[in-house]
């Protein structure tokens, strides 16, 4: 049974100048007078989608979505090799979120997202805890360096053939070398054919990691439109090759700043891309959180995952 709400369209949208020559796309759906909620998409660089709107009761929520710098409808777009990346970091995105909150006149908002989105949510909430009413995360990550290394190397023990192809896509990189940084360099190559090949190879690896979940029915990374795919890979490799500009373990270390913010963490036990240990450690450090383990789910989630997300958002709909 699909417990999500019917599809809805934005009642307003706009472009917000966030400085450094960047403009961030945003949109609002649901009830303009409802409980404010911000959707923080994954990737980094995936852009906001439409289906996530359906997790929110449109009568009770003012749902705000935005495309992070360089992706989706935000400008300039990272698929354009002329777009500089130096003004696209975790700290820039946190500042963009706060600027968007001020622009829209929101006092406090609920934050919802998953995967990379959870890292950005935690970074924002730990910096601006007084602006966060609640947090709902599915597929918890903190983008620590060992988590990044697991996703782009360690999990290769389950997919050795595909990982060898991924490594081969960055010629000259030793098996114990920094394959993520190697791909980041390829995405800055002046030859468009080199950039395209690297994008395809990166997405093939990402699709391999979730292949047990998709059963080959689709490729959630490789099937994206060309520009969206290129931007995502360029941004992903840029962020992860820099350890997302956070000190190792910073988000866990500073989880005490989340005290008083209720949170629901939902994680699949079979998430090969990001182990349950990350959600568990965060839950232990954040007493106001609840951890829900979905036994049969992986990184992309299942109907049960969606059930828990909708249930948690319904619980917080009144702002409590």
CA distance 117 to 120: 5
Contact 241, 179 (CB under 8 A): no
| Catalytic annotation present for 115 | yes
Write a three-state SS string for the chain. Answer: CCCCCCCCCCCEEEEEEEECCEEEEEEEEECCCCEEEEEECCCCCCCCCCHHHHHCCCCCEEEEEECCCCCCCCECCCCCCCCCCCCCCHHHHHHHHHHHHHHHCCCCEEEEEECHHHHHHHHHHHHCHHHEEEEEEECCCCCCHHHHHHHHCHHHHCCHHHHHHHHHCCCCCCCCCCHHHHHHHHCCCCCHHHHHHHHHHHHHHHHHHCHHHHCCCCCCCCCCCHHHHHHHHHHHHHHHHCHHHCCCCHHHHCHHHHCCCCEEEEEECCCCCCCHHHHHHHHHHCCCEEEEEECCCCCCCCHHHHHHHHHHHHHCCCCC
Out of 112, 283, 299, 308, pick the active-site residue: 299
B/e letters for 70-100, b = 16+ CB within 10 Å, e = fewer, are: bbbbbbebbbeeebebeebbbebbbebbeeb
Out of 92, 96, 271, 307, pick the active-site residue: 271
Out of 46, 115, 211, 237, pick the active-site residue: 115
Contact 284, 258 (CB under 8 A): no
Radius of gyration of the chain (CA): 19
- Residues identified as active-site: 115, 271, 299
């Amino acid at each position: 049974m699909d417990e999500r709400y019917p599809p809805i369209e934005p009642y307003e949208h706009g472009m917000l100048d966030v400085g450094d020559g960047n403009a961030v796309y945003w949109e609002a759906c649901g009830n303009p007078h409802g409980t404010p909620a911000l959707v923080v998409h994954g990737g980094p660089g995936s852009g906001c989608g439409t289906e996530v709107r359906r997790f929110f009761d449109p009568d009770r929520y003012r749902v705000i979505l935005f495309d992070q710098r360089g992706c989706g409808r935000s400008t300039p777009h990272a698929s354009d090799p002329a777009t500089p990346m130096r003004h696209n970091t975790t700290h820039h995105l946190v500042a963009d979120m706060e600027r968007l909150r001020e622009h829209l006149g929101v006092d406090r908002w609920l934050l919802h997202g998953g995967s990379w989105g959870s890292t950005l949510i935690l970074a924002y909430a730990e910096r601006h805890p007084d602006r966060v009413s609640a947090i709902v995360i599915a597929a918890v990550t903190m983008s620590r360096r060992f988590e990044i290394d697991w996703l782009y190397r360690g999990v290769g023990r389950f997919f050795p053939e595909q990982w060898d192809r991924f490594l081969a896509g960055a010629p000259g990189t030793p098996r114990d070398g920094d394959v993520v940084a190697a791909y980041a360099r390829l995405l800055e190559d002046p030859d468009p054919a080199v950039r395209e090949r690297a994008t395809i190879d990166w997405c093939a690896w990402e699709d391999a990691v979730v292949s047990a979940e998709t059963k080959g029915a689709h490729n959630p990374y490789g099937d994206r439109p060309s520009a969206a795919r290129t931007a995502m890979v360029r941004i992903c490799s840029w962020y992860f090759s820099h350890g997302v500009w956070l000190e190792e373990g910073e988000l866990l270390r500073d989880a005490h700043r989340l005290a008083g913010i209720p949170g629901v963490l939902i994680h699949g036990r079979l998430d090969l891309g990001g182990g349950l240990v990350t959600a568990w450690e965060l839950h232990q450090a954040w007493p106001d959180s609840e951890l829900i383990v979905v036994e049969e789910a992986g990184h992309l989630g299942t109907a049960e995952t969606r059930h828990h997300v909708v249930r948690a958002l319904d619980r917080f709909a009144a702002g409590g």
